[in-house]
A and B are shown apart, each in its own frame.
Chain A
């Protein structure tokens, strides 16, 4: 049975989509079959990292939610376009399927206006795992704690919360951790992203773990390289030796070891 891994943050701008894409690919490189669902329907974006033109695809996730197609019809096999640092097809990948959301304003406003049955979304997750024989299904959630995000958390085997070391993220993460506990998520990890280099990393890790009583899987430094290359492909594939890629690898091993 495949595992559901939700990547979430209380606020936007934490680098959630970027970390999701890199983690999913990192887990796939261990020979696993992975899927990535962009449930950030209101502000989709993960497709950009995979260089997918959503306007040209036959069925975004929205079509499945409106009952226009089956869930597997929304899945794009992106493994062939994953290139390593030498521009060759990345080796060792089991499979990577992307389920993108529509970026058409009309489709986004329809979701906001009419909403949809979140139960359908859950059925979609389960069907994706079964029909595509997935080992891991990654869910890139919408920030905050709306209904679909709560559903994603509820059905997760692993929940990774991303936060930046700032006041608002600390407060929002406290709420999210409490909610996740009430939903009895089996594995909960924190990832502190965009940590300024002049911070004492060990001290940040210790304090975060003490405050939330949740293990910190990684602390990622604020990286100019990552910012420069954001939205320009999968960072860890193109820069395998970079400290951020090394940390991503550690989180991936936490996921596969869970």
Chain B
């Protein structure tokens, strides 16, 4: 067969395989590896196939690693969602348990303490002073 024709066919096969790989179908990688056999293929094509083969292996490895990471992240996300729900439940429970304050005033003691302060001459002087100051400001 014409050498050029053979090369054309090989290249067309090559292009077909590249399209398959681009679409994420790596199961035809062995066909690409066949193109690396130097004795059967022109040198440039076998070298090119080898480079592509290496590229596919690396891409596949990277994709596999990324899939693993995504899987881990999804697992963590699920765990976080469970923890979030649990926390929200606990918060509702806590909110219901918030302590209430109790204010108790001893009014007779208060009246006694207030009188002790306000029935002095000094306090009366202060009351007048406060009134004068306010009047001065107005």
Q: Which residues of A contact B (CB under 8 A)?
A: 1, 122, 145, 147, 150-151, 154-155, 165, 167, 170-171, 174-175, 178-179, 182-186, 196, 198-200, 203-204, 207-208, 211
Chain B residues near A200 (CB-CB < 8 A): 98-101
Instruction: Decide: A184 and B104 in contact? CB cutoff 8 A.
Output: no
Docked pose: A182 CA to B97 CA in angstroms: 40
Question: By DSSP majority rule, is chain A's interface helix, strand, loop, or mixed?
Answer: helix
Contact-size category for B: 20 to 34
- State whether A171 and B118 are in contact (beta carbons under 8 Å apart), knowing that A184-B134, A196-B99, A199-B98 are contacts in the complex: no
Report the stretch among B4-12, B40-48, B106-114 that lies at the interface: B106-114
Docked pose: A122 CA to B122 CA in angstroms: 14
Instruction: Decide: B106 and A1 in contact? CB cutoff 8 A.
Output: no
B129: which of A155, A178, A182, A198 is its contact (CB, 8 Å)? Answer: A155
Chain A residues near B22 (CB-CB < 8 A): none
Instruction: Decide: A167 and B104 in contact? CB cutoff 8 A.
Output: yes
Instruction: Decide: A183 and B126 in contact? CB cutoff 8 A.
Output: yes
- State whether A183 and B98 are in contact (beta carbons under 8 Å apart), knowing that A147-B122, A174-B110 are contacts in the complex: no
- Give the Cβ gap from A134 to chain B, nearest Cβ, in Å: 15
Within 98-138 of B, Cβ neighbours of A (below 8 Å) are at 98-101, 103-106, 109-110, 113-114, 117-118, 122-123, 126-127, 129-131, 133-134, 137
- Give the Cβ gap from A127 to chain B, nearest Cβ, in Å: 14
Instruction: Decide: A154 and B129 in contact? CB cutoff 8 A.
Output: yes
B133: which of A155, A167, A175 is its contact (CB, 8 Å)? Answer: A155
